[in-house]
């Protein structure tokens, strides 16, 4: 194993409070040229998948009483998985991951990136800029003109005040000096905590690490669904719950809905809130991916969840962190890249750039799954309701400042087709990436394809 791989994985494994000697059970190989970038993106991808795979192997050992299985990480499988949202096909049809209004724009003094994939975000962007909600071609021209007459920070402030999403491009130095950047730099990559004295889980000999576990998935594209997709691979009964008034992309769900079921509940409605409570009373894991404060008003803070359901694992994901002036802001991978200086580092003097994949999303997703798996392992040992917290901005800081850049070398040829497969689904013939998380004797694919988003009954599997 190369030193960059050991360094990245060992950093995360230590942050998870795990036994460092287990890293000796990991090996890696395969073509390493799948995620070319100036920043060490392949090292981030490899490290996050490694710790997730090792955490799965460790939990499998705890539940069966057998030795921890060996883990082999394949760089080709990892790179393909990090590109999964771009590679998914239904009956040969691709989809565009970004709408015409989700892009870079030149402001009067720099660059801005907007995110308008969802209709409500599109409407808020146009309203903030005083642009009519016409067709995409006319709207692009009008937004271009409106942003050109404003500074980048003016656009950011105006659009966020209207509930939309726009971030001014900053250099890494500017971000580091900002109040939010200073606070991100002072945080660990991830946080884990025990918040009560719930009893231990008893080993039961289950063949898969998450067999028999029920996971409430309250996340949206992309990091949270990657995490819960991984828990489904490892045997969990994952039920994704969305608000019926918030639109979702079926195309995105075709990628991240592998192994899950999907339903809608309106927590503002008394009957739906009561039904959600019944699901919660039988859950083992709750994963949330909404901005801080969005779910707490429904009684879903970690403390409230622990009081109602002692022994839960509560995993929380946010874009900017649960602290600082940006703590309640919405955010996506593309916007975090722009704010934290990644776009400048990957760009040119003429324009900002992007990472070769939504690596902050995918990497944080595997870190989140690893945190859940390690929390479950610790519950078997010492009990307790467990809390895991991550943020895309913290993953970005890790990528820019803490991961070692590999020495220049010749990358082996990469062809994603080797790590893609096809299966029949309710939507048609589905081509998708194979899971990169694996260990000796572990699952090699999901037990079920995704179905139409939001159409499953709000019950646990088998109920």
Q: Give catalytic residue positions.
A: 361
Distance CA 456, CA 451 (A): 8
Burial of 44 per CB tally in 10 Å (0-12, 13-18, 19+): buried
How is the beta sheet containing 261-264 ordered, strand by strand? Answer: 191-194, 386-391, 313-318, 285-288, 214-218, 237-242, 261-264
Tally of helices (H runs) and strands (E runs) in the chain: 17, 15
Tell me the residue length of the chain.
463
- Where do the H-state alpha helices sit in 162-256? 172-177, 179-185, 223-233, 250-256
Q: How many other CB atoms are found less than 10 A from the CB of residue 212?
A: 12
* Residue 58 vs residues 25, 78, 196, 210, 315: alpha-carbon distances, Å: 10, 20, 23, 12, 19
| Closest C-alpha to 437, from 9, 52, 98 | 52
Q: Are 194 and 386 a contacting pair, CB within 8 Å?
A: yes
User: What is the helix (H) or strand (E) element at residue 49, kind and residue range?
Assistant: helix 41-64
**β-pairing, 420-425 with 428-433?**
antiparallel
């Amino acid at each position: 194993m190369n030193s960059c791989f050991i360094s990245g994985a060992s950093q995360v494994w230590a942050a998870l409070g795990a036994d460092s000697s287990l890293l000796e059970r990991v090996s890696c190989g395969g073509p390493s040229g799948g995620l070319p970038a100036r920043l060490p993106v392949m090292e981030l991808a490899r490290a996050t998948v490694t710790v997730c795979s090792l955490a799965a192997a460790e939990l499998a050992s705890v539940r069966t009483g057998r030795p921890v299985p060996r883990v082999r990480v394949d760089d080709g499988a990892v790179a393909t998985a990090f590109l999964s949202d771009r590679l998914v096909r239904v009956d040969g049809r691709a989809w565009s991951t970004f709408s015409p209004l989700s892009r870079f724009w030149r402001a009067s003094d720099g660059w801005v990136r907007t995110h308008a994939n969802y209709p409500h975000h599109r409407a808020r962007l146009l309203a903030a800029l005083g642009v009519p909600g016409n067709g995409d071609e006319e709207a692009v021209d009008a937004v271009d003109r409106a942003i050109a007459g404003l500074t980048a920070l003016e656009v950011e402030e105006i659009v966020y005040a209207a509930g939309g999403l726009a971030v001014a491009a900053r250099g890494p130095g500017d971000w580091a000096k900002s109040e939010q950047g200073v606070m991100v730099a002072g945080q660990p990559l991830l946080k884990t905590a025990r918040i009560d004295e719930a009893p231990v889980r008893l080993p039961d000999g289950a063949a898969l690490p998450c067999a028999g576990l029920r996971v409430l998935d309250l996340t949206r594209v992309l990091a949270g669904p990657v995490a819960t997709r991984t828990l489904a691979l490892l045997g969990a009964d994952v039920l994704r719950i969305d608000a019926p008034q918030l639109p979702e992309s079926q195309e995105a769900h075709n990628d991240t809905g592998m192994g899950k079921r999907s339903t809608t509940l309106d927590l503002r409605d008394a009957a739906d809130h009561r039904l959600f409570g019944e699901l919660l009373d039988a859950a083992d894991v709750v994963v949330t991916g909404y901005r801080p404060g969005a779910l707490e008003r429904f009684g879903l803070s970690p403390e409230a969840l622990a009081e109602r359901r002692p022994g839960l694992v509560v995993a929380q994901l946010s874009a900017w962190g649960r602290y600082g002036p940006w703590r309640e802001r919405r955010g996506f991978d593309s916007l975090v890249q722009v704010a934290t200086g990644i776009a400048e580092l990957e760009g040119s003097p003429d324009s900002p750039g992007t990472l070769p994949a939504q690596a902050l999303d995918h990497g944080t997703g595997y870190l989140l799954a690893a945190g859940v798996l390690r929390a479950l392992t610790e519950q078997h040992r010492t009990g307790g309701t467990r809390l895991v917290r991550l943020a895309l901005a913290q993953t970005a800081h890790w990528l820019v400042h803490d991961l070692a850049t590999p020495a220049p070398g010749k990358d082996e040829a990469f062809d994603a087709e080797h790590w893609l497969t096809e299966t029949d689904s309710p939507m048609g013939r589905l081509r998708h990436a194979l899971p990169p998380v694996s260990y000796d004797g572990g699952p090699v694919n999901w037990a079920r394809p995704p179905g139409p988003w939001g159409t499953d009954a709000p019950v646990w599997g088998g109920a």
